[in-house]
Amino acid sequence: MSSLVSELENVRAYYRQSFGNITRVVRVVDGVSLKIFEGDIVGIVGESGCGKSTLANVMMMNIKPPLQFVDGAVRLYAGDNILELNKLPIEVLRERVWGEEIAIIPQAALNALMPTIRIRRLILDIVKSHDPDVDENEVISRAVKRFKEIGLPEHVINMYPFELSGGMRQRVVIAVATLLNPRLLIADEPTSALDVITQKMVLKTLVDVYKIGIIKSIVFITHDIATVRQIASRIVVMYAGKIVEDGPVEDIIAKPLHPYTDGLIRSVLTPEEEVRKRGIKHIPGQPPDLANPPPGCRFHPRCPFAMDICRREEPPAVEVEKGRFVACWLYMKR
Partner 1 sequence: MPMLEVRNLTKIYEMGFVRKRRMVAVNDISFDIKEGEIVSLVGESGSGKTTTAKIILRLLPPTSGNVIFEGKDIWRDIKTHEELKEYWKKVHAVFQDPYASYNPFYRIDRVLHQALELMGIDPRSTEGRNMIKEALLYVGLNPDDILGKYSHQLSGGQRQRIMIARCWLLKPKLIVADEPVSMIDASMRGAIIKLFMQLRDDYKTTTIFITHDLGLAYYVSDRILVMYRGKIVDQGAPDELIKKPTHEYTKRLLESVPTLYKKWTWE
Confirm or reject binding of residue 114 to partner 1 (CB under 8 A).
Answer: no
Query: Which of the stretches 86-94, 121-129, 193-201, 323-331 binds partner 1 when contact is defined by CB under 8 A?
Result: 193-201
Percentages (nearest 5) of helix, strand, coil residues in the chain: 35, 25, 35
Confirm or reject binding of residue 268 to partner 1 (CB under 8 A).
Answer: yes
Which residues, at least 6 apart from 321, have a Cβ–Cβ distance to it below 8 Å? 247, 251
75 or 258: CB nearest partner 1:
258
Taking CB under 8 A as the criterion, the residue among 167, 182, 259, 263 binding partner 1 is 263
**Residues between 280 and 309 that touch partner 1 (CB under 8 A):** 280-284, 286-287
Confirm or reject binding of residue 108 to partner 1 (CB under 8 A).
Answer: no
Taking CB under 8 A as the criterion, the residue among 207, 291, 320, 330 binding partner 1 is 207
Question: How many residues contact partner 1, by CB under 8 A?
Answer: 38
Confirm or reject binding of residue 226 to partner 1 (CB under 8 A).
Answer: yes
Dihedral angle over CA of 169, 227, 101, 170, nearest 10 = 0
Cis peptide before 66 (omega within 30 of 0): yes
Amino acid letter, 331: Y
Confirm or reject binding of residue 274 to partner 1 (CB under 8 A).
Answer: yes
User: Which stretch of DSSP H or E encloses residue 207?
Assistant: helix 196-211
171 or 229: CB nearest partner 1:
229
Are the CB atoms for 318 and 326 separated by under 8 Å? yes
Q: Phi and psi for 114 in degrees, rounded to 5? A: -65, 120
Looking from the CA of 236 toward its CB, the CA atoms found within 13 Å total: 24
Confirm or reject binding of residue 127 to partner 1 (CB under 8 A).
Answer: no
- Pattern 24-53, partner 1, x by CB under 8 A: -----------------------xx-----
1 or 197: CB nearest partner 1:
197
User: Which stretch of DSSP H or E encloses residue 66?
Assistant: none
Confirm or reject binding of residue 213 to partner 1 (CB under 8 A).
Answer: no
Query: Which of the stretches 28-36, 124-132, 199-207, 324-332 binds partner 1 when contact is defined by CB under 8 A?
Result: 199-207
Amino acid letter, 321: E
d(CA 293, CA 261): 19
Amino acid letter, 114: M
Smallest gap from Cβ 316 to partner 1, in A, equals 24
Smallest gap from Cβ 241 to partner 1, in A, equals 16
87 or 276: CB nearest partner 1:
276
Q: In what order do the strands lie in the sheet with 22-37?
A: 22-37, 4-19, 67-78, 81-84
E strands, the chain, are 4-19, 22-37, 41-45, 67-78, 81-84, 102-105, 184-188, 217-222, 234-239, 242-248, 318-321, 324-326
Taking CB under 8 A as the criterion, the residue among 35, 142, 200, 324 binding partner 1 is 200
Confirm or reject binding of residue 255 to partner 1 (CB under 8 A).
Answer: no
Confirm or reject binding of residue 273 to partner 1 (CB under 8 A).
Answer: yes
Query: Which of the stretches 106-114, 194-202, 212-220, 319-327 binds partner 1 when contact is defined by CB under 8 A?
Result: 194-202
Confirm or reject binding of residue 8 to partner 1 (CB under 8 A).
Answer: no
Confirm or reject binding of residue 230 to partner 1 (CB under 8 A).
Answer: yes
Q: What is the rounded radius of gyration, in angstroms, for the C-alpha atoms of the chain?
A: 21
Are the CB atoms for 110 and 171 separated by under 8 Å? no
Give contact residues for partner 1 (rule: CB under 8 A): 47-48, 195-197, 199-200, 204, 207, 223-227, 229-230, 253, 263-276, 280-284, 286-287
